[in-house]
Amino acid sequence: MQDPVEKPQGTPVPKTRREFLFHTSAIAAAGSALVGCQTTDNKKTAVATTAAAALAAPAVHAGENNTIQVALVGCGGRGTGAAANALSVKNGPIKLVAMGDVFDHRLKGSFEGLSGEHKARMDVPEDRKFIGFDAYKKAMDSLRPGDIVILATPPAFRWVHFKYAIEKGLNVFMEKPVTVDGPTSRRMLALAEDAKKKNLKVGVGLMCRHCHIRQDLFNKIQDGQVGDLITLRAYRMHGPAGSAFSTRKPDGQSELLWQISRFHSFLWASGGCFSDFYIHNIDECCWMKNAWPVQAQASGGRHYRGDNVDQNFDNYSVEYTFDDGAKLFVYGRTMPGCHDEFASYAHGSKGLAVISSNSHTPAKSRIYKGQKMVNSDIVWKAPKDEPDPYQLEWDDLVDAVRNDKPYNEVKRGVEASLVTSMGRMAAHTGQIITFDDMLNSKHEFAPGLESLTMDSAAPLLADANGLYPIPQPGIKMHSEY
Ligand SMILES: NC(=O)c1ccc[n+]([C@@H]2O[C@H](COP(=O)([O-])OP(=O)(O)OC[C@H]3O[C@@H](n4cnc5c(N)ncnc54)[C@H](O)[C@@H]3O)[C@@H](O)[C@H]2O)c1
């Protein structure tokens, strides 16, 4: 099976901080230690650091009692789900000890939701529940080095929160996307290196990469079982979802908090529905191709807007091109009454692979000989029972923390986020956008997020009619709005 990150075998398992320090010294004495690795175009790349750096790294395991403490920053739907996955790992004691959000009601709802099934693994008294734009700091201050913080706010805040987690010596689970523009992508790549230097373990919520069935499929594709990959296709087409559509802000509400609560509507907060919804399908296709595309051209438009004033298009079509000329076509639509599809496919010279069939899980991956999806041509299919990839990504992260395995998914997460932004920018500007254009883009959607307070102005302002700037392909050609 293809591991999403390299996991050296035969590493002894330190159980306590003392054993960990002894273990680290032993590695250091041997001359060098592997403390970071990531897949670059899925080719495994190990980064060796010096023995001195390994010694200087903080203890990355849980404290003397061997319990890993967890803090949740961003107590919404996914943050609550990620915390539930964290508290469901089987490999050793783990406990939720702090929570932070900008909305009291979100934190309360999350706490109550988790308190049902997971009460025994929770110790979050009132004085470790934090509200406000500095809640992330207070929640992380409640942890010890080597504990885990979950970053599940809208992605705009990811680099701010990740930076503080690194300063505090914390291991991290962060949700996708991890960036939505060029400047913050460059910042996150630099932070990824800082985290590696400190031997911190960082998981990124592209959980499909942890799906065992897709890992099997990846190996079969790399073995040539569908021949050379020529075309990939991904679809995320359904009715309105999340907060992708927004009407004008109600009077009396803070513009900043309203935009945050409707983050799929605003490009600065989320990259819009494009980045938030399509990244998984784009990422799983690029994984199977074992490469990132070098450029994108795209189209899209706004059709039935009604009173909605968000920045999204209602539909998107992207043609990504890989370095070998192969194509990935991505279709996104948020429109009721149309054909719905939520799936990814890879066409090779010998056959067709279904990467995912309907939503993220179960993947129901399969391979057909030839290009027609008929049962008689199935040559391999996933077994009926598929483990939940949202749980697998946590099992893998905690395993890496407990057993000091190299684990840093940030570079791959940034690359997936960038490739997604590249398609979005191509649609929004009407221009061909290369990977390098996106990476080097100077348009930072929301500078100054690190110093927001409850009274700050929103990064995007409405005009006198309550309307926000929207993408205008062919008119606004160098930035998305
Ligand atoms: N991997 C997946 O399949 C998956 C699924 C859903 C969401 N997500 C990702 O998870 C993230 C959150 O999405 P969601 O659906 O849970 O949204 P959500 O609105 O339900 O939750 C986000 C939470 O973060 C809080 N928040 C916002 N800004 C904050 C800040 N600066 N400090 C502290 N708290 C803050 C919000 O109040 C809210 O409670 C997004 O990046 C999204 O793309 C991933």
Ligand 1 near 135 CB (within 6 A): yes
Q: Among 101, 158, 160, 174, say which to mutate for ligand 1: greatest number of ligand atoms within 8 Å of CB.
A: 101
Work out the pLDDT band at 36, boundaries 50, 70, 90: very low
Per the CB < 8 A criterion, the answer to whether 459 and 468 are in contact is: no
Question: Ligand 1: distance of its center to the CA of 79 in Å?
Answer: 6
Ligand 1 near 136 CB (within 6 A): yes
Average pLDDT, integer, range 379-399: 96
Question: Ligand 1: distance of its center to the CA of 334 in Å?
Answer: 20
Q: What is the pLDDT of residues 124-168, one digit of tens each?
A: 999 999 999 999 999 999 999 999 999 999 999 999 999 999 999
Ligand 1 near 102 CB (within 6 A): yes
Q: What is the pLDDT of residue 215?
A: 98
Average pLDDT, integer, range 242-255: 96
Q: Quick check: 85 pLDDT over 90?
A: yes
Q: How many CB atoms lie within 10 A of CB 475?
A: 8
Q: What is the pLDDT of residues 334-353, one digit of tens each?
A: 999 999 999 999 999 999 99
Q: What is the pLDDT of residue 65?
A: 72
Closest atom of ligand 1 to CA, residue 106: 39
Average pLDDT, integer, range 85-95: 95
Q: What is the pLDDT of residues 303-331, one digit of tens each?
A: 999 999 999 999 999 999 999 999 999 99
Q: Quick check: 33 pLDDT over 60?
A: no
Q: What is the pLDDT of residues 3-19, one digit of tens each?
A: 333 232 222 333 333 33
Ligand 1 near 212 CB (within 6 A): no
Work out the pLDDT band at 44, boundaries 50, 70, 90: very low
Q: What is the pLDDT of residues 172-188, one digit of tens each?
A: 999 999 999 999 999 99
Question: Ligand 1: distance of its center to the CA of 295 in Å?
Answer: 29
Q: What is the pLDDT of residues 231-245, one digit of tens each?
A: 999 999 999 999 999
Ligand 1 near 124 CB (within 6 A): no
CB within 8 A of 154, min separation 6: which ones? 74, 260, 263, 269, 270
**Six token digits for residue 34:** 């592997």
- For residue 353, the cross-strand partners are 346, 367
Q: Quick check: 34 pLDDT over 80?
A: no
Percentages of the chain per state (helix, strand, coil), in multiples of 5: 35, 20, 40
Ligand 1 near 34 CB (within 6 A): no
Question: Ligand 1: distance of its center to the CA of 61 in Å?
Answer: 27
Question: Ligand 1: distance of its center to the CA of 458 in Å?
Answer: 18
**Six token digits for residue 442:** 């100077």
Residue 445 burial by CB count (10 A; 0-12/13-18/19+): exposed, middle or buried? buried
Q: What is the pLDDT of residue 104?
A: 98
Ligand 1 near 155 CB (within 6 A): yes
Q: What is the pLDDT of residue 19?
A: 37
